Chain A
Amino acid sequence: MNSQELFIAFWTIVTKEIRRFTRIWAQTMLPPAITMTLYFVIFGNLIGSRIGDMGGFDYMEYIVPGLIMMSVITNSYGNVVSSFFGTKFQRNIEELLVSPIPNWIILSGYVVGGVARGLAVGLIVTMLSLFFTDLQVQNLMVTVSVVFLTAVLFSLGGFINAAYANSFDDIAIIPTFVLTPLTYLGGVFYSIQLLPEFWQNVSLLNPILYMVNTFRFGILGVSDISIGFAFAMILIFIAALFTYALHLLNCGKGIRN
């Protein structure tokens, strides 16, 4: 395929993915909007007013970046894992396998679809947060790049989960038992400076901590960790997961006999 044909094939997958999650917006876009609004009301307004400052900021201001990032992570991951597993389940993955599209284009198409949903939901949650607090972005470059790279990373994670999944249970296990605990313990609701030193060190093993804090740095200008190190970690994880996901596609894991 020449470069124009490759782009058409890639764009076909991307638009198909975007049409899919916008068609079922009541399942994909509305729930995170409702959930995050409840977080803003309950944790930000009701409980947050009694907590006082966190990291030098009003509690509502402090948790908003974390909650936006949480919605980006869960939605980019959830989009790819459910879409790619559904494609396997209904066997329409065969439409792609018989076509001349290279595997890296298939993978990129699904990842961009996941990124699109992650960013769309992130934008909705950001707009909702403006009803509760004023967001002053301190570093636009850091804010945009970290949210984009995080969406890429978790889309790749969702793809790998879907490649291994044999049942609908398998696509729920990782989000429930791994992703959600890591997100909640990743500094969304608190600064790790509040923890004893031992648990601060344990928290540093959580990759989501780096993403949440880098995003918070972009908006509020404060972070518990080094921003340069965080970006390096995210890029290394993306490179590793992309290579692994492509390997799974090349050897036909879960899609070819």
Chain B
Amino acid sequence: MTTALSIRDLRKVYGNGFEALKGISLDVQQGDFFALLGPNGAGKSTTLGIVSSLVNKTSGSVSVFGYDLETHLSQAKKCLGVVPQEFNFNQFEKVLDIVVNQAGYYGIARKDALQRAEFYLGKLGLWEKRNQTSRMLSGGMKRRLMIARALVHSPKLLILDEPTAGVDIELRRSMWEFLQEINAAGTTIILTTHYLEEAESLCRNIAIIDQGAIVKNTSIRSLLQQLNTETFLLDLSPTPAESFALDGYEVELVDGHTVQVEVEKSQGLTPVFVQLRERGFEVTSMRNKANRLEELFVSLVDKNLEQQPA
């Protein structure tokens, strides 16, 4: 299988001496939907900035579809589409011009660029807004505009740095569908996000970066298998008068009618329901306290923090 992105011993030390990346190595395979997660300041944006030529590296190497950024920069850039975290288009330019100009920067003739712009703006629900200046768009539309702009030259690798930040749930879901569609059509996608539900829903593989180092690089499935305990919130009827215990489970009364139950992977949920019924309670609803990936993410990042020298 072809490697879409290969990063080797990548280091970045900023002018003020801050070491943002401490020699990370990472491979993303062609066709993958890959999540790069990490807390704020972990080095995600620096990594993606170096890959997309917006940040100068200190040392190490990066290649995109086999094209090294040092020796074959132009070919590597042609394979890349970038959707940055912050809006970075001319606020006074028209929507259509932004997309068509971007195609022009890749050497695509205007006639072809107009057809591509119509296709992607249409797909992302912006064709009706094509003659508006970009500053007139809503936040969600601006995000979609950046995606259309990044796709106009048909890149083989699409990098999205928090593409759904500040986007409402309905729009986020429709963007997920669109991204899944283009991934299924063959575009490799690398995504950073703070919505771990997003990574869990969309991505097959994941790397967690913290304090400039990769602390985990595996498939989402195998990562989730490492989760030993899940926490459930159960709404009960009738309302429990006081806290109570269940054999083999940690239970905590959260509020008047909700209890929190810790369930280990080996235990299962049936005994919980049985014991509750024996006590005369019906479970009216049940939900995870936190996203499963979120629990793992927090535990991995916390562990990494504890291992750092004081």
Binding site for B on A (CB under 8 A): 1-2, 4-6, 8-9, 11-13, 16, 19, 86-87, 90-92, 94-102, 252, 256-257
Q: Please state if A95 and B88 are interface contacts (CB–CB under 8 Å).
A: yes
Q: Please state if B14 and A257 are interface contacts (CB–CB under 8 Å).
A: yes
A12-B105, A257-B54 given. 16 additional CB < 8 A pairs? A5-B107, A90-B89, A91-B86, A91-B88, A94-B88, A95-B101, A97-B54, A98-B54, A98-B82, A100-B77, A100-B78, A102-B74, A252-B56, A257-B14, A257-B46, A257-B49
Q: Please state if B55 and A9 are interface contacts (CB–CB under 8 Å).
A: no
Min distance, Cβ A105 to any Cβ of chain B, angstroms: 9
Known: A1-B74, A100-B77, A252-B56. A95 touches B102 (CB 8 A): yes
Q: Which residues of B contact A99 (CB under 8 A)?
A: 77, 102, 105-106
Q: Which residues of B contact A16 (CB under 8 A)?
A: 97, 101
Q: Please state if B88 and A8 are interface contacts (CB–CB under 8 Å).
A: no
Q: Please state if B101 and A6 are interface contacts (CB–CB under 8 Å).
A: no
Min distance, Cβ A1 to any Cβ of chain B, angstroms: 5
- CB within 8 A of A6: which of B75, B77, B107? B107
A-B residue pairs in contact (CB < 8 Å), sample of 20: A6-B107, A8-B104, A8-B109, A9-B105, A16-B101, A90-B89, A91-B86, A91-B88, A92-B88, A92-B90, A95-B105, A95-B149, A97-B52, A97-B54, A99-B77, A100-B77, A100-B78, A256-B56, A257-B14, A257-B54
Give the top 5 A-B pairs by smallest Cβ distance, nearest first: A5-B107, A12-B104, A99-B105, A91-B88, A100-B74
Q: Which residue of A lies closest to B46 (CB)?
A: A257
Cα A1 to Cα B77 in complex, Å, equals 11
Q: Which residues of B contact A1 (CB under 8 A)?
A: 74, 107
Min distance, Cβ A204 to any Cβ of chain B, angstroms: 41
Q: Which residue of A lies closest to B76 (CB)?
A: A100
Q: Please state if A8 and B54 are interface contacts (CB–CB under 8 Å).
A: no
Q: Please state if B102 and A100 are interface contacts (CB–CB under 8 Å).
A: no
Q: Which residues of A contact B80 (CB under 8 A)?
A: 98
Cβ of B73 within 8 Å of any chain A Cβ, yes or no, is yes
Which chain B residues in 49-64 approach chain A with CB under 8 Å? 49, 52-56
Q: Which residues of A contact B52 (CB under 8 A)?
A: 97-98
Q: Please state if A96 and B105 are interface contacts (CB–CB under 8 Å).
A: yes
Known: A97-B54, A100-B77. A8 touches B89 (CB 8 A): no
Cβ of B215 within 8 Å of any chain A Cβ, yes or no, is no
Cα A5 to Cα B49 in complex, Å, equals 25
Q: Which residues of B contact A92 (CB under 8 A)?
A: 88-90
Cβ of B267 within 8 Å of any chain A Cβ, yes or no, is no
- CB within 8 A of B104: which of A11, A90, A97? A11
Cβ of B108 within 8 Å of any chain A Cβ, yes or no, is yes
Cα A87 to Cα B89 in complex, Å, equals 9
Known: A4-B107, A9-B104. A90 touches B90 (CB 8 A): yes
Q: Please state if B105 and A90 are interface contacts (CB–CB under 8 Å).
A: no
Kindly supply a per-residue 1/0 record for chain B positions 106-125, scoring 1 wherever the CB is within 8 Å of any chain A CB and 0 otherwise: 11111000000000000000
Q: Which residue of B lies closest to A252 (CB)?
A: B56
Min distance, Cβ B78 to any Cβ of chain A, angstroms: 5
Cα A19 to Cα B101 in complex, Å, equals 12
Cα A96 to Cα B149 in complex, Å, equals 12
Q: Which residues of A contact B89 (CB under 8 A)?
A: 90, 92, 95
Cα A92 to Cα B108 in complex, Å, equals 19
Cα A86 to Cα B93 in complex, Å, equals 12
Cβ of B84 within 8 Å of any chain A Cβ, yes or no, is yes
Min distance, Cβ B13 to any Cβ of chain A, angstroms: 11
Cα A123 to Cα B74 in complex, Å, equals 39
Q: Which residues of A contact B82 (CB under 8 A)?
A: 94, 98
Min distance, Cβ B23 to any Cβ of chain A, angstroms: 18
Cα A90 to Cα B134 in complex, Å, equals 12
Q: Which residues of A contact B74 (CB under 8 A)?
A: 1, 100, 102
Min distance, Cβ B107 to any Cβ of chain A, angstroms: 2
- CB within 8 A of A256: which of B54, B90, B107? B54
Cβ of B3 within 8 Å of any chain A Cβ, yes or no, is no
Cα A71 to Cα B132 in complex, Å, equals 33
Q: Which residues of B contact A90 (CB under 8 A)?
A: 88-91
Cα A1 to Cα B84 in complex, Å, equals 24
Min distance, Cβ B245 to any Cβ of chain A, angstroms: 56
